[in-house]
Structures are given as C-alpha cells and as structure tokens.
Amino acid sequence: MRLLTVSHASVIPKSTPKLMVLSSHFHSHLHFPSPTTASSRNPPPQFSIPSRNPNTTSLSPREPLLPLTSSPHQSPSSCFSHLEAYSSLLELCASQKAIKQGQQIHAHILKSTSLSNDGFLPTKLLFMYGKCGHLFDAHDLFDDMRHRTVFCWNALVGSYSSHGQHSKAIELYMEMRGSGVMPDACTFASVLKACGGCEDLHLGSEIHSLAIKRGISATTFVVNALVAMYSKCGRFDLAVKLFEMAPDARDVVTWNSIISACVQDGKFYAALDFFREMGKSRVDMSSYTVVAVLQACTELLLVKLGMEIHASLLKLNRRFHIFESNALLVMYSRCGRMGDAIRVFDEMDEKDKVSWNSMLSGYVQNGLYVKAIEFFNEMLESGFEFDEVSIISLASGLGRLENLHSGKAIHGCAIKCGFDSELQVGNTLIDMYTKCGNVKYAELVFHKMPSKDYISWTTAIAGYARSSRHLEAFELFREVQRLGMEADPVMIGSILLACSSFGCLSLLKQIHGYAIRHGLLDLLLKNTIIDIYGDCRQVSYANRIFERLEDKDVVSWTSMINCYVDNALFNEALSLSLDMIKANIDPDAVALVSIIAAVSGMSSLIKGKEIHGFGIRRDLAMDGLMCNSLIDMYALCGRIDASFKIFNRLRTKDLVLWTTIIRACGLHGKGKEAIEIFNEMEDMGLVPDHVAFLALLYACSHSGLNHDGKVYFDKMINEYKLDPWPEHYACVVDVLGRSGRVVEAFKFIQSMPVEPTAAIWCSLLGACRVHSNHQLAEVAAENLLELEPENPGNYVLVSNVFAAMGKWEEVDTVRAMMEDKGLRKEPALSWIELGNKVHKFVARDNSHRDMEEIYSKLEEITKRLEREGGYVADTRFVLHHVEEDQKVKMLNGHSERLAIALGLIHTPDRTQIRIFKNLRVCGDCHEFTKFVSKFFEREIIVRDANRFHHFRDGCCSCGNFW
C-alpha cells in the first residue's frame, strides 16, 4: 500500500496508520511545490508501508524525502506539532537506518531556527545518526550541542557501544561523569555492554556499585546488562547469582542474557535448564532465545530437542527470521542431519553469507566432499559472492578428498580475491596441500604468508612429518624456538609425529623432556607420547607413562594396546583390553579395531568371534574400518570363508576393503581368485594404488602365477603410471625365483632403476636355496648381510643356505658372527587353540603337562604313516652337521608335529585342526602333514610365516609351492 501525497487533510479516518496521520498533519502546515512546477518525470517519492503488516511502518533508504520549506508564520501550537512530527520521522529513519532521509530532515531542521535551538530534536538527531552507524556525524553534532542532557550522553554512549567501539563508549562515560551529569539506568545499560566487550570487570563492578547506590540496580534492563557483562568477563557465577537475586525483574531479555551467558561459558546443559525454567515461568521465547538454545543443542548434538524447537516455531505460523533459520541449518548439519538442513535451506525466503557458508561447511563436516564442490558451484551460479569462510570450508574438503586439481583452482580464487593473505585461509591451504601430498605447494604458501600463528607453524611441521621430510620438520621447530615462541601441546604432537617416522629415540626423549619442563603434558599429549614410544619399540617407556596416568580415558587404553600390538605382544594387548573393561572403560570402535589386531596377531579364532560378537552387542558401527579389520582377522585365523561373507554383505566398498580381501586371497594361496577380484574392482571404477598392486603381486607370488605377476607389474607402471616401491620389486623377484627362474630374477635385480633392498636379496637367496643355485646364493648372502648386519633372521637364512650346500665351515663362520654381534635366532614356535586355551610348543619341547601322552601319540602317528603310507623322513631339511639317526629324531620333534599330536588327542574325529607357526614350515613337515590329513581323515590348516596351507586328503592347497 502506498501513501498518497495530500496538501490538506480535513478528515482523517480512524483506521489510518500512525505514519499517515503524522504525514498528513505535517503536510497541512508545510508548503510544497505545486503540481504545475514539479517535474512529471520526477514524481515526489513516498513512504511505503508493507502490505503484510498494516500496523508497522517501513521507510526505504533509497527514497529521499520531499524538499521541505517552512512557512514564515507559525504559531506555538504548530511548532509543537512540528516537533512531534520531526521526532516521529527521525525515529522512523533510525529504525529503518535511512540515513539519507534523516540527513534531509536534519537540513530542514537547521533552516527552522525556532526548532533547531530546541534540545529535544538534536537529541533525536543524535540518536538517528548513531542508529545508522554514522558515529562521526553523531559526535560532530554532539560537540556542537550547548546543553548536553543525560539523554544526549546516552544516545552517543549507546551508539558507540552498539557498534563495537567499546573503549570509546567507556571514554565518553568517563567524560560524562567528569562533566557532572549523573548517569541513569540507560547509561548504565550501555556502558555495561561496553565493559563486557572490553572484558573490563573492574569498571563493570564499579558501575554495578554505583547502580546499587542510585537504587536502579534492580531495573530490568540494568539487570540484563549486568548479567551479560559478568558472563563476558568470565564471571559466570556472578551472572547466575545476580539472575537469581532478581526474580521480579526478569523479562525475555533477562532470560536470553542468562541463557546466552551459559552458552558462552560452555555450560550447555545449564542453558537448557534455564530454557526449561523460562517455559515454566510462562515467558515466550524470542528469536534470540531460539538461536542460543539451538546453539546449545548443536554443541551437545541433541537433535531431538532441536527438532522440538523447530516444531514450536512452525506452530507459531510466522515468518522465520534469517538468523533462526541459520541456527537450524548449523544444528542439523552438525548433528549429521543434512537432509533436514537442506530442507530448511530450500525453504528460506532470504539467504545471507551465513546461510550459504553454513550449508557448505555442513557438507564438508559430514564427509560429503563431492556434494560440497557441487554446492559451491551452485553458490556461484546463484550470484553469491564467496568469502574467506567459503574458501576455508571448501579447501578443507578438497584436502580430505585429496583433490589437488580443484585445490589449486580454489587457491587461485583466493589469490584473485586477495583472501590468500588471510591467516586462516593460509593455514587451511597448507593443510590442504599437505593432505594432497604436495608439500612443495604447502611450503610456498607457508613462506608467503605475511603473518603466522601457532596453527601455521604446527600445520607446516605436521606436513613435513607426514611426508617423511623429518629434517625440515625439526628445522621448523628450531626456528620456532629461535623466534622465542613457546610451543603448545599441538605443536609438540606434530614434532612427535616426525620423531615417530624418523625412529630416533634420542630426539623423542628430548622432545618429551621439553614438554615436561614447559608443563605441556596434557592427557592428549601423553597419549600421543605413548603411541610414539610404541612406534620406536620402547614398550617399557610407554608402559611407564601409561601406568602413571591418573585420568586414563579410552584413548589412553587404546594407545597402550596399540603399542603392544605394534611390538607383537599380542597376549599383553588382550590382557590389557580385559583390564580396560574391568576399569569400567567401554571400548569404542577404534579400541575394538586395536583389539581385533591383537587377535589377528595371535590367530585366535575363538577370541576373534568373541570380539566380533561384543561389537555387535554394543551396537558399535560396523563401518569400513571395522569390517576391514574383521575381514583381515578371519583371514589370519584361517577362516577366509568368513572374510568373504563379511565382504559380500557390504553395500559400499572402498579401495581399502578390496585390497584387504585380495591380500586375504594371497595368504591362502588363492591367486586366481585374487586376480578376479582385482579385475572386478577395476570394473567398479576404483583406481588401484601401490598397496592394492602389492597385495595382488603377493598373491601371484604365493600361487605360482609368475606370468600374471609380471603382467600386472607392467600394468602398474605403464597403465597407472605408478612408480614401483622396493616391495613391488621384491615380489617380482620372488615370483621369478619361486618358479625356478633364478638367473632371470638376478638379471631383473641388476636392471632395476633403484638400489636393491635387503628384502629383494632375501627373496633371491630363498629361491637360490630351494633351487640349489649356489653361485648366486653367495652373491645374495653377501649383499644381504651388508645391508642389514643387525637382523638375526638374515644370518639364519644365510646359515641355512650354506648348510644345504654342505659348507659347514661357512655355517660355523656365520653363527660365530651372530654370537659376536649378540644376535639370537628366533626359536621355531607353533601353537594350537583348543577351547579357550592356546597351547604353545618349541622344537623338542618337554614343558607341556601332557608331554608324555603327546610324544606317545606322535610315535603312533609316525609308525602308522611309515607302515601304511610309506613315509620316510627327509633329513635334507635338518641343517645341522649331525648323524643321520639324530637328524630323524630332530625332525620328529618339530613344534608343528607336537601341536598336531595334541590336536588329534583332544578333538573329535573328522574335525578340523588349526596350527599356527612363526617360521616357514620345513619340507619334511609339509609332507608329514599331508600324510596325516589322508590317513587320519582330518583337514589341517597350517599358517606359517609366508601363507596358509590347507591340507586335505593328502594334498596341500599350496601345490608344493610356498
């Protein structure tokens, strides 16, 4: 509805809005240009009243007022009427922030001498300029005022306080007190707000005391200001005390102040308690209440309560304020309800930067990185101008997506818009490039940043550490110290990551000592140090820190369990997990994955099933990580059928899951199945990485698929452009060597573009032993001991090769070298799980309580195999220079045979027997187990250091190729 211009209004209907009455009265006493002189192309602008609410007025700041001129003869009553009219118009300009119209009214007042000298209108003008944010004009007007009432001071102090210039507001208050003007309740409310903004508790307390002396401390808006001031100054206790002392002065603003104070202080449950109490007091919530309570719901992830508040707003059947909708967006997205967040966003009539950025951030926070990219493009198409927050959110998502190409594009956008110089943008770009594996670009961003904070240095250090550039990480840390910056716990955590990768115990101890001296050891950092000591194989140090922790959380227990698992102390890990439950610490999904890893190391199927059942009963998320661990665990426990059952039930499979099942096939000698799964993975559109190819080459190697292994090795290089790791080269050498092509394997080593590692020479040496190539065996042995002189396994392998060649002098020399270096051979160990107990055996063991029965059973087995199957012990596999009959006795005492005998004693006929061994099974024991599976009608599964052997009806799944 538009207001028509009238020259005189004799009759005004009662239903006419206030602004129309005011304007009509105002026009009846003022002279306007006649219609004949006014330009028809420029009609007089008019005030507009929104049609949706006839009881409110609205003034568009784009529409200037008509030029106003005074009549030369005005009566006192008309002056009074003009004062009212000007006052109301200035209030309207202030409420609508219509500065141009306000300036026109100011100009007209200056022309009306009889009005401009009055103190009332200048105060109104001062208020209008302050509300419109023109503080310079307001102060200029204030300086020209001869008579400054408390209302003038309040208008200016309130203006500075409302626009965040708190120090200036306090300065004006001091000047006001010095001029002798006594502040009133409005003054106190404004200056208390400024004290809160400056966190000036001392002055705020003084003003509180003065308000008490003046007898106005219980005034509602003074109480509101005091509650807000104390909360912003960190005295939440005083804010609550003051609130409770003024039960009669509470209005909706008071409740909003205390609820906001709770949220600001992080006491979200207290905020919700006050909100419930507010409802009981029958005080209706306002938009500020909604925003504060939704923020509490967001922090506590109480989506149900947030939805109830949303429903309450819908029942009011009113238009949502934009900041209410934004609060709902943030709440739903943070609680993982992106569908609801999208619905709120789509229903918004008006969207601002907070709306768009909240949605973008929601997509990123919920791992919907591709959707975030699509939404960002939608933002651009809609005409929305992105800002620093948009760049930070999208760059964070691109880093997690490892999308380097798009990351560079968003970096370019930041440079064009000048956002790259912003501190938070720079920090996010460093992190993004680091996650994308491009440390060079991260380094460039870091060095070009005009200013750096702790996050900048920490992110750069962590980037170097993750990229194995340990020296650069330590150099940056030294630079931090040279600059006089004191490292915080997060930075120490990043440099510890470098220590872990570097494997340097002395540096780790130095960093640990630095953290102790500077009092940086919070619980998070202590947990990290436990992890790092475990990575450096210092279990005793890690355990010492763990035992001294008074406030162990689930992360502390998980860190120590991981430490045991990483150092192959699987029994200790499982024992600690039981202590964890006894301490009333419920394992989460991450802890359960660590416990499953311990079970995998022990190959304990019974315990593995128990842990699997525990996870299901506790309703722990059976996501990719958990399922991946379970697939691996069942495969290592000999139940690859259970691995496939879990794998096939999953609807979505990532590259890690496909790689795990391929690796499982390799462990069980199912090379052809591994190739089929790999091809299926490619058909699904997944791009294999280095680890996937390594699993496939391993499967080919242990299944005798030498041709396929070479084909996929070439495919990795030529089709996928992946540079082979030393482990890939070792697999190819193993493939060639196992198939008897030892010379070809040696030539392949010589043609490699990188220096051969110990693992490569080890593969060649193993092949030389199997295929009796003595000449190349000596070459491989020499290189192996040169590269890893401290690895006892290498000396054992070399000794065994020389023993197989009959070079006993060389055997004695190698064993003497081991003794001189203080190295010990790892004893052969086999174990079998019966019921809830694991029975372990070493060669010629006599420690088991049923040893007499076991040896008696083993003798019975051997005689039957010799009598019925023609079994003859192959003493070539005894690599000791002793008599023949002694060699036979040594073979009969091998640990896996003792475990098989115990299994036959304590398990029913025709049931499966599972044996686990830490070393490679010898050729004679392999034949012995074949005979047992046939004549005793048992399926026997043996896992040695290389793979699984499934013995059935006198045959082995490995096809004598292991």
Residue 689 backbone class (left: φ over 0; alpha: ψ -120 to 50; beta: rest): beta
| Same domain? 845 vs 908 | yes
DSSP notation for 194-215:
HHHHHT-HHHHHHHHHHHHHHT
Report the pLDDT value the prediction gives residue 903, as an integer from 0 to 100.
95
Domain stops at, among 825, 848, 864: 825
Q: Residue 733: pLDDT above 70?
A: yes
Q: Give the pair of three-digit tokens for residue 960.
A: 């004598």
Report the pLDDT value the prediction gives residue 572, as an integer from 0 to 100.
94
How far the first Cα of the chain sits from its last, in Å, is 91
DSSP state, 449? -
| Same domain? 747 vs 834 | no
Report the pLDDT value the prediction gives residue 658, as an integer from 0 to 100.
96
Report the pLDDT value the prediction gives residue 317, as an integer from 0 to 100.
83
Q: Residue 414: pLDDT above 60?
A: yes
What are the backbone angles phi and psi of residue 913, rounded to the nearest 5°? -120, 130
Q: At what angle do helices 554-566 and 539-548 cross, to 10 degrees?
A: 160
Q: Is 362 exposed, middle or buried (0-12, 13-18, 19+ CB in 10 A)?
A: buried
Lowest mean pLDDT among 72-86, 352-366, 499-513, 587-601: 72-86
- The Cα-based distances of 887 to 241, 251, 530, 881 in angstroms read 89, 96, 47, 9
Instruction: Give the contacts of 527 (CB within 8 A, at least 6 positions apart).
Output: 553, 555, 556, 559
| Domain membership flag for residue 340 | no
Q: Residue 27: pLDDT above 80?
A: no
Report the pLDDT value the prediction gives residue 900, as an integer from 0 to 100.
96
pLDDT tens-place string over residues 358-408: 999 999 999 899 999 999 999 988 888 889 999 999 999 999 988 999 999
pLDDT band at 81 (very low <50, low <70, confident <90, very high): low
Q: Give the pair of three-digit tokens for residue 266.
A: 């992080």
Give yes or no for a contact between 456 and 479, defined as CB atoms under 8 angstroms apart.
Answer: no
d(CA 594, CA 611): 11
Instruction: Give the contacts of 480 (CB within 8 A, at least 6 positions apart).
Output: 457, 487, 491
Torsion of CA 52, 53, 54, 55, to 10 degrees: -170
Give yes or no for a contact between 664 and 640, defined as CB atoms under 8 angstroms apart.
Answer: yes
Q: What angle (nearest 5°) sits at the alpha carbon of residue 531, between those of residues 530 and 535?
A: 120
DSSP notation for 568-587:
T-HHHHHHHHHHHHHTT---
Give yes or no for a contact between 353 and 387, defined as CB atoms under 8 angstroms apart.
Answer: yes
pLDDT tens-place string over residues 859-909: 999 999 999 999 999 988 887 878 888 889 999 999 999 999 999 999 999
**What one-letter code names the amino acid at 185?**
A
What integer is the mean pLDDT of 107-112?
79
Report the pLDDT value the prediction gives residue 7, as an integer from 0 to 100.
31
Q: Give the pair of three-digit tokens for residue 52.
A: 């949706």
CA–chain centroid gap for 48, Å, is 51
Report the pLDDT value the prediction gives residue 542, as an integer from 0 to 100.
94
d(CA 659, CA 628): 9
Alpha-helical regions (H) of 792-922 = 792-804, 808-821, 851-864, 884-892, 895-906
| Same domain? 820 vs 836 | no
H-run or E-run covering 466 = helix 454-466
Report the pLDDT value the prediction gives residue 926, as an integer from 0 to 100.
94
Report the pLDDT value the prediction gives residue 496, as an integer from 0 to 100.
87
H-run or E-run covering 956 = strand 955-956
Q: Give the pair of three-digit tokens for residue 658.
A: 């496909």
Q: How many CB atoms neighbour CB 197 within 10 A?
A: 19
* Domain boundaries, position 952: 829-956
pLDDT tens-place string over residues 535-559: 888 999 999 999 999 889 999 999 9
| Domain membership flag for residue 104 | no
Nearest to 389 by CA among 359, 345, 412: 359
d(CA 956, CA 940): 9
d(CA 148, CA 266): 42
| Domain membership flag for residue 195 | no
CA–chain centroid gap for 139, Å, is 49
d(CA 145, CA 156): 12
Q: At what angle do helices 423-435 and 454-466 cross, to 10 degrees?
A: 10
Total domains present in the chain: 2
pLDDT tens-place string over residues 605-621: 999 999 999 988 887 76
What are the backbone angles phi and psi of residue 829, rounded to the nearest 5°? -135, 130
pLDDT band at 47 (very low <50, low <70, confident <90, very high): very low
Domain stops at, among 777, 805, 825: 825
Q: Residue 767: pLDDT above 70?
A: yes
Nearest to 726 by CA among 769, 700, 777, 690: 690
What integer is the mean pLDDT of 229-258?
82
Give yes or no for a contact between 914 and 938, defined as CB atoms under 8 angstroms apart.
Answer: no
Provide the strand spans (E) within 150-259: none
Instruction: Give the contacts of 69 (CB within 8 A, at least 6 positions apart).
Output: 30, 31, 108, 111
pLDDT tens-place string over residues 682-691: 999 999 999 9
| CA neighbours closer than 13 Å in the CB half-sphere of residue 649 | 13
d(CA 431, CA 395): 9
H-run or E-run covering 563 = helix 554-566
d(CA 412, CA 415): 5
Average pLDDT value for the chain: 85
d(CA 552, CA 586): 12
| Domain membership flag for residue 878 | yes
d(CA 17, CA 23): 10
Residue 651 three-state SS: coil
Nearest to 361 by CA among 381, 382, 383, 345: 345
pLDDT band at 484 (very low <50, low <70, confident <90, very high): confident
Q: Residue 798: pLDDT above 50?
A: yes
| Same domain? 733 vs 819 | yes
| Same domain? 813 vs 833 | no
Q: Give the pair of three-digit tokens for residue 613.
A: 């059942």
pLDDT tens-place string over residues 189-203: 888 888 988 888 888
Q: Is 847 exposed, middle or buried (0-12, 13-18, 19+ CB in 10 A)?
A: exposed
d(CA 820, CA 818): 5
| Same domain? 808 vs 853 | no
| Same domain? 746 vs 767 | yes
Give yes or no for a contact between 865 and 934, defined as CB atoms under 8 angstroms apart.
Answer: no
Cα Dmax for the chain: 140
| Same domain? 853 vs 944 | yes
Domain stops at, among 792, 825, 858: 825
Q: Give the pair of three-digit tokens for residue 957.
A: 């799944």
| Domain membership flag for residue 791 | yes
pLDDT tens-place string over residues 215-229: 888 777 788 888 888
| Same domain? 815 vs 838 | no
d(CA 387, CA 947): 56
Q: What pTM was estimated for this model as a whole? A: 0.67
625 compared with 943, residue with greater pLDDT? 943
| Same domain? 866 vs 817 | no
649 compared with 58, residue with greater pLDDT? 649
| Same domain? 816 vs 846 | no
Q: Residue 59: pLDDT above 70?
A: no
Q: Residue 781: pLDDT above 80?
A: yes
| Domain membership flag for residue 49 | no
DSSP notation for 762-783:
HHHHHHHHHTT-HHHHHHHHHH
What integer is the mean pLDDT of 116-129?
77
pLDDT band at 706 (very low <50, low <70, confident <90, very high): confident
| Domain membership flag for residue 88 | no
What are the backbone angles phi and psi of residue 291, rounded to the nearest 5°? -65, -45
What integer is the mean pLDDT of 456-468?
88
Nearest to 295 by CA among 264, 251, 321, 317: 264
| Domain membership flag for residue 855 | yes
| Same domain? 816 vs 773 | yes
Nearest to 935 by CA among 857, 853, 867, 833: 867
pLDDT band at 23 (very low <50, low <70, confident <90, very high): very low
Q: Report the CATH number at residue 814.
A: 1.25.40
